[in-house]
Amino acid sequence: MKYFLLFVLLLQTCQAQKTTPTEMNDANYWHFNQFAQDSVPGINAKNVSPEFPKSNNMDKIVIALIDSDVDINHKYLKNNLWYNKHEIADNHLDDDGNGYIDDKHGWNYLASGSTKLVRFANNTSIRYIREFKSKFQELNKEGNELSFEEEAFMKTYNSALESKNSELSQLAEYKEYISWYENSLVSSDSLLMTYGIERPYSEGLLDSLFNKVYTIGNDEIRGRLIYFALDDLQNNRAKEYEDSKVYFEQNSKYASNKDFDENEKRNLLKQSTNSTNAGSPNVNINIENEVHGTEMAGVLIKTFSSIYNESPNSDNLEIMVLSIFPENGAEHDEDLSKAIRYAVDNDAQIINYSSTLNYLVKPESVYLALEYAKNRNVLFVTSAGNTGDNLDEVMTHPRGSFGEFELSNVIMVGGVGAKLTANLKPIWACYGKNTVDLFAPGTNFTTTSPLNQYHETSGSSISTALVTGVAASIKYRFPKLSSRELKEVIVNSTSKYNGEVYLDEDSEKKVPFEELSKSGGILNAKRAFELASKL
């Protein structure tokens, strides 16, 4: 019954299914409009740069994209790839002596040659529990007196246990949905055959029958089965079902499976290369199964070109691809640390990491890498995440402040929806008065997808890449800005929404939007340019 009620709600609220976009046309992007124009949280990013002098421009700006594999042959992306001018491509030598052989566009930390060797990994909760199980059992013995550090460890370990159980509960819900869909499909088809209706179904015929049986006849049992077929036809629930099956099967087998040995492939990878650093220069191996990196590259380029009112080329914006995301499961902190250092050492000015990690096995390695980036004046932009948590209470990584580390070069970004209303904060958007720096639009963004395609996507990953794109455009115009100054002009220039918002779907009361982040506001590109011009 709960799925029937859910689908009735979807039928009432959903628009007609959108066609797959063929290009990234400006008409699709309310995200760049003036703030509050048509009640949308636009970031004021249309043709901003001509208002500011061009003196002291950099020759180019390099963004390191730490993400998944990227379709480097995509027609929208290929002219903006970073090219390592110190490396001779495909000669199987480390020409620049940086420990990476033939790294012409970046590095794939999970591949060997032309094979994505590490495609699957555990979630961080499973990884953390496996790594520290013995330590936990020893400290958990009765009568042990724990130090402050040990108590902190026990708290983190117990949190990982709770996360694991939550992940398994979510998988159980997916399994229940899959079973419900399959049973409903059989029952619906059987019922419709009794009315002489067979596939392929007609929307008009199903709608008429639904009204006759459910609305007029008040037959709930038959009505919801007819409605199932109608909704399935109108909203392509078959794809939703197939995606759910893939998610359930992969997560059951890999990400949430404590018996899956993720280290087997990682150890094989380390043995597969003669280079100091395991991996491959081929960064576009598994693009059809890993779309995220291709999506983010499109957002970065589109944002930069919107501000400069031109189609950027390799002379001014370049994307360095650093692939650390597996197809399923979470990236490793070891790979994140290496990718950060690679970006810094190879002259990236800004790093985009549209992700977040709950539990780090070696947090010091990540934060030392971030400190290294800070000391070299490299800005690091990361996502608040899509779990809907208050990050003042729930620990995720990386963040600007952790233990002894205070990082003035780290920006954490949360996502907002398309309207300045009480539902401005999506259910999934994480927040935190003391942790999240600012928000940016994170819904319905048309971007690149593999094999020269385009599609619409949502999430705080989009929000993060928007901030990175704006930061890159400012740094390109004002190259003398330090990473701290660049962060400050972005965080201190936000647009304010003075209304109250719901935190989640179960909220009975609203809270002021300004209390959900440090800045209390939403990215404003033009205002950030104005602040930068005064420094």
Residue-wise pLDDT tens digits, 79-124: 999 999 999 989 999 999 999 999 999 999 999 999 999 999 999 9
pLDDT value, residue 506: 72
Q: What DSSP state is assigned to residue 350? A: E
37-120+277-533: CATH class: alpha beta
Compute the mean pLDDT over every residue in the chain, rounded to the nearest whole number: 92
pLDDT at 515 over 80: yes
Mean pLDDT of 505-523: 91
Judged against a pLDDT cut of 90, whether residue 277 lies above it is answered with: no
Asked whether the predicted pLDDT for residue 1 surpasses 70, the reply is: no
Residue 150 amino acid letter = E
What's the CA gap between 485 and 497, in Å, rounded?
24
- Please tell me the pTM assigned to this model: 0.92
CA separation for the pair 141, 330 (Å, rounded): 31
The pLDDT value recorded for residue 64 is: 98
Assess whether pLDDT exceeds 80 at residue 54: no
Residues in the chain: 535
Q: Is 532 helix (H, G, I), strand (E, B) or coil?
A: helix
301 contacts 312 by C-beta, under 8 angstroms: yes
pLDDT at 10: 35
Per-residue pLDDT reduced to its tens digit, 324-376: 999 999 999 999 999 999 999 999 999 999 999 999 999 999 999 999 999 99
**Residue with token string 């392929």:** 200
What are the φ/ψ torsions at residue 448 (nearest 5 degrees)?
A: -75, 145
pLDDT at site 3: 44
Interacting residues of 70 by C-beta distance below 8 A, sequence separation 6+? 77, 283, 284, 287, 293, 294, 297, 319, 321, 323
Is the pLDDT at 59 greater than 60? The verdict is: yes
Tell me how far apart the 2 most distant CA atoms of the chain are, in Å: 78
Alpha-carbon gap, residue 301 to 319, rounded angstroms: 9
Q: For 117-172, what is each residue's pLDDT tens digit?
A: 999 999 999 999 999 999 999 999 988 899 999 999 999 999 999 999 999 999 99
pLDDT at 7: 37
Would you state the pLDDT for residue 13?
A: 33
Give the model confidence (pLDDT) of 378-423 as tens digits. Answer: 999 999 999 999 999 999 999 999 999 999 999 999 999 999 999 9
Give the residue extent of every domain in the chain: 37-120+277-533, 126-255
Q: Average pLDDT in the 428-441 region?
A: 98
pLDDT number for residue 25:
77
